[in-house]
């Protein structure tokens, strides 16, 4: 009974702090939750562009369902390889050519002497809490552009012209509480044929 009363008292104190501006409660809560507008995408080794939207990040594990004869209350789930969904980055048109420079490198003939660093990168997507601390860092491993979309233009429009870049990637690494420091331009694969995850 005492523990229940203590828990209830702590809950009331926390709610009261939120309602009446308790600085201690506010400082604690600022590190506990993340809103969708506090993010940054590191697409180059230095800060060159800001993004208005980042969507599509996810992974799906392929599976196969197998029914076993005589077993009617369960089914067997056989797991396959992960499949990473494409990520779309959006930003307002500006004088910065980071999208186009990266994409246009793929238009050139790719021979055995073509530098891998021209089109493969490890990109960081950082999410911040309300205190401005890095909550999570999602690293897209071996990212490469697979699509670009120019903004729709209207003579009577007044909204910001937004361009889109779609990225495919070979793997995903998630770091909690830290990460970032700029994108990594990849120069080669490892002996196993994969890209480094950092």
Q: How many domains does the chain have?
A: 2
The verdict on residue 148 lying in a domain is yes
Bridge partners, 43 (sequence order): none
Q: Could you tell me if 138 and 179 lie in one domain?
A: yes
In terms of DSSP bridges, do strands 171-176 and 76-84 run parallel, antiparallel, or are they unpaired? unpaired
Same domain, 84 and 14: no
111 and 40, same domain (yes or no): yes
CA dist., res. 140 & res. 153, Å (int): 31
pTM (predicted TM-score): 0.72
CATH number of the domain encompassing residue 119:
2.30.110.20
pLDDT, mean of each 10-residue run, the chain (198 residues):
42 43 52 75 71 90 90 90 93 81 78 63 87 87 90 86 91 85 78 75
pLDDT score recorded for residue 121: 86
In whole angstroms, give the CA distance from residue 67 to residue 64. 10
Q: Tell me, what's the pLDDT at 13? A: 43
Rounded CA separation 151/66 (Å): 46
- Is 59:82 a contact under the CB 8 Å cutoff? yes
User: Would you say residue 198 lies in a domain?
Assistant: no
Asked if residue 195 is part of any domain, the answer here is no
Residues 15 and 49 in one domain: no
* Same domain, residue pair 5 and 40: no
Q: Which two tokens stand for residue 70?
A: 């005589």
Burial 158-174 (b: 16+ CB within 10 A, else e): eeeebbbbebebbbbee
Which residue, 75, 79, 73, is CA-closest to 59? 79
The pLDDT of residue 38: 80
Question: Which residue range(s) make up the domain with 41?
Answer: 36-185
> Within this chain, do residues 76 and 138 fall inside the same structural domain, yes or no?
yes
Do both 79 and 143 map to the same domain?
yes
Q: Are residues 169 and 87 in the same domain?
A: yes
pLDDT for 55: 92
Q: Report, in this order, helix, strand and coil percent for the chain, each rounded to 5.
A: 20, 35, 45
Contacts of 67 (CB under 8 A, 6+ apart): 75, 76
In this structure, are 4 and 53 located in the same domain?
A: no
Same domain, 76 and 141: yes
- Predicted pLDDT of residue 47: 59
């Amino acid at each position: 009974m005492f523990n229940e009363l203590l828990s209830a008292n702590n809950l009331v104190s926390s709610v009261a702090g939120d309602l009446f501006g308790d600085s201690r409660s506010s400082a604690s809560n600022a590190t506990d939750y993340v809103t969708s507008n506090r993010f940054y995408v590191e697409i180059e080794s230095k800060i060159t562009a800001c993004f208005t939207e980042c969507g599509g990040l996810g992974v799906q594990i392929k599976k196969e369902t197998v029914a076993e004869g005589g077993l009617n209350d369960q089914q067997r789930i056989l797991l396959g390889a992960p499949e990473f969904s494409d990520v779309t980055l959006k930003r307002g048109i500006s004088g910065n050519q980071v999208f186009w420079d990266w994409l246009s490198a793929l238009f050139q003939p790719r021979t055995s002497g073509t530098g891998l660093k021209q089109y493969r990168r490890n990109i960081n997507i950082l999410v911040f809490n309300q205190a401005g601390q890095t909550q999570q860092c999602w690293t897209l491993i071996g990212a490469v552009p697979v699509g670009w979309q120019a903004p729709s233009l209207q003579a009577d429009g007044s909204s910001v012209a937004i361009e889109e870049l779609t990225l495919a990637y070979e793997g995903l690494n998630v770091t909690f509480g830290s990460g970032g420091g700029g994108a990594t331009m990849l120069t080669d694969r490892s002996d196993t044929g994969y890209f480094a995850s950092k």
